[in-house]
Amino acid sequence: MESSQTKSGITHRDLELDALAARIGDELETLARLSSDVQKALSMCHFAEHTDPAAIRGLQGIDRITQALEDLGRLMAAVSGEMPKDVKLHAVPILSRLRLHELVNNLDPDAQPVLMSRDYDGEVQWF
């Protein structure tokens, strides 16, 4: 990754497209695992005897989300392996479109990925 300072003080960095695609694939796989965890957690919840069928169908949509995220993760991993190694993007305008700081860190090859622990025993925080 190349980096340079502009007159305005903003750093220009090039982002390798194949590395970005690989990291997007990794992030999609992580989201698929999280979705699967949500599905498992919901399956342990006790619902009223007469839960609305539409609500049940909505909850079953989580399985579809999980499968789609898994497929997209595998696809992006394969695409990244097929990309030419010399294609670069401007990192700042690309990554600045993201709101989640953790996601920026996970997608930026210059940053250390933030790995979410699957064994977190902390208190649940509802957003």
Enumerate the domain spans of the chain: 3-107
Backbone angles phi, psi at 67, to 5 degrees: -65, -40
**Residue-level length of the chain:** 127
pTM of the model: 0.73
pLDDT tens digits, residue range 8-49?
Answer: 455 678 899 999 999 999 999 999 999 999 988 888 887 767
pLDDT tens digits, residue range 41-60?
Answer: 888 887 767 778 888 788 88
What local confidence, expressed as pLDDT, does residue 53 receive?
84
pLDDT tens digits, residue range 72-111?
Answer: 999 999 999 999 999 999 988 899 999 999 999 999 877 7
CB 22 within 8 A of CB 82: no
Q: How many CA atoms lie within 13 A of 43 on its CB side?
A: 10
Q: Could you give the CA distance from residue 84 to residue 89 in angstroms, rounded to a whole number?
A: 13
What local confidence, expressed as pLDDT, does residue 83 receive?
93
